[in-house]
Amino acid sequence: MKLLSIQLTFFLLLFSLSFSTSYADNGLVTKASAYNVTETTDRLVAIIKKKGITLFARINHAQGAKDAGLTLLPTELVIFGKPQLGNPIMILDPRLAIDLPLKALIWEDKEGKVWLSYNSPVYIAQRHSIPEQHPIIKKMTGALDKLSDYATKATP
């Protein structure tokens, strides 16, 4: 009976998330994408470069799995940032470097739905006891929201 209750709870959670375009979970912001993983990642990389943000890496986890003889649904990680923003707050607490530069994960679920996830800057700030209203945290929050919207939302 307890197992059935757990399964039902899990199903309801998944069902509710399937209708959501954006949600936060333990500081993770996730948005549904109108594109496949490669297109979403390409769009994110393009807007990052257009905005003059440094692209540190683009990691294709699915390709890495394939190269190792394993399988993984399409999954890519983009690592990016702007040292002019990250450096000043890393001076406040060097441990912020564990969370910076910023990262976005673009992934496909078992149903074929594509998502873009990233750590909320507010969550990162809380983790490192930086005030949520710090101007850099506000800039990062706004930038991530706009970048992720560009990468995921269908354009007319």
CATH number, domain containing residue 128: 3.30.310.70
Q: Are 121 and 10 in contact (CB under 8 A)?
A: no
DSSP 91-144: HH-GGGGGT-SEEEEEEE-TTS-EEEEEE-HHHHHHHTT--TT-HHHHHHHHHH
Q: Which domain holds residue 75?
A: 21-151
Number of domains in the chain: 1
Q: Cα 66 to the chain's mean position, in Å?
A: 23
pLDDT tens track for 110-149: 999 999 999 999 999 999 999 989 999 999 999 999 999 9
109 located within any domain: yes
Q: In this predicted model, what pLDDT tens digit does every residue of 66-92 receive, in sequence order? A: 999 999 999 999 999 999 999 999 998
Determine the average pLDDT of the residues in 12-36: 68
Inside any domain, residue 115:
yes
Q: Report if residue 98 sits inside a domain.
A: yes
DSSP 155: P
CB 100 within 8 A of CB 85: no
In-domain check, residue 2: no
User: Average per-residue pLDDT in the chain?
Assistant: 88
Within-domain flag for 4 = no
Question: First CA to last CA across the chain, in angstroms?
Answer: 49
Choose between 14 and 137: higher pLDDT.
Answer: 137
Burial class from Cβ neighbours inside 10 Å (0-12, 13-18, 19+) for residue 59 reads middle
Within 13 A of 114's CA, how many CA atoms are on the CB side? 19
- Whether 7 maps to a domain, the answer reads no
